[in-house]
Amino acid sequence: MAESKIIYLIRHGETDFNKMGIVQGSGVDKELNDFGKLQASKFFEFYKDINFDHIYTSALIRTQQSVLPFIERGQQYTKMPELNEISWGIFEGKQQNAEERAFYWEVVNSWRSGNYDAKIVNGESALEMQNRQIPAIEKIMANTHEKCILICMHGRAMKSLLCTLLNEPLSKMEEFEHSNLGLYLLEKNENGFSLLKRNDRTHFGDLI
């Protein structure tokens, strides 16, 4: 019988670049802003009684800060660079003009139509991102003693991870809406993963 596992999957809290609509990707390591830290606090208060066996984050500071209240109380966690955001290449960390923004959406729409090799100059393709995530997924799933885990990562990277876990093609990535500190809840049983919550933000209460 397959090992059961519950995965709480969240995107990091808000950064100033998120607020300004600037692409961060894997090459920009911005900290959470004050509102992002408040989001992290709200998530912790709502889920502090969940007995997470382990927490996994990307290697970027914004994911670690998003689960910092859990870490500060002694929760075991592991940083995994494989969970970093996609590289957006030359678009990272700067405002895009209309032409650049149009090309950004051209790449995203290419993925939607099945061309997973499309990418921004000096960036990563959807397929390259998924391929680097798979070893991390395998490591996490191999820890069968961990029945309930929390994973904090990034918007585009989450879309890819959800497709992989739910056995969906990367062309379905846009079906997985995300927001800062939004929660996806997944459960694994003998039939694979099922999705229990989708970008849930109940934990914010009147913050949203």
Structure tokens of 93? 């960390």
Identify the pLDDT of residue 20. 94
CATH assignment at residue 59: 3.40.50.1240
Q: What is the 3-class SS of the chain, one letter each residue? A: CCCCEEEEEEECCCEHHHHHCCCCCCCCCCCECHHHHHHHHHHHHHHCCCCCCEEEECCCHHHHHHCHHHHHCCCCEEECHHHCCCCCHHHCCCCCCHHHHHHHHHHHHHHHCCCCCCCCCCCCCHHHHHHHHHHHHHHHHHCCCCCEEEEEECHHHHHHHHHHHCCCCHHHHHHCCCCCCCEEEEEEECCEEEEEEEEECHHHHHHC
Identify the pLDDT of residue 189. 86
Span 151-182, pLDDT tens digits:
999 999 999 999 999 999 999 999 999 999 99
Q: What average pLDDT does the segment 172-197 reach?
A: 96
Identify the pLDDT of residue 208. 66
Span 93-150, pLDDT tens digits:
999 999 999 999 999 999 999 999 999 999 999 999 999 999 999 999 999 999 999 9
pLDDT at position 3 over 80: no
Beta bridge partners of 8: 150, 185
pLDDT at position 38 over 60: yes
Total domain count, the chain:
1
Domain of 30 in residue numbering reads as 5-207
Q: What percent of the chain has pLDDT over 90?
A: 95
Structure tokens of 177? 């809406």
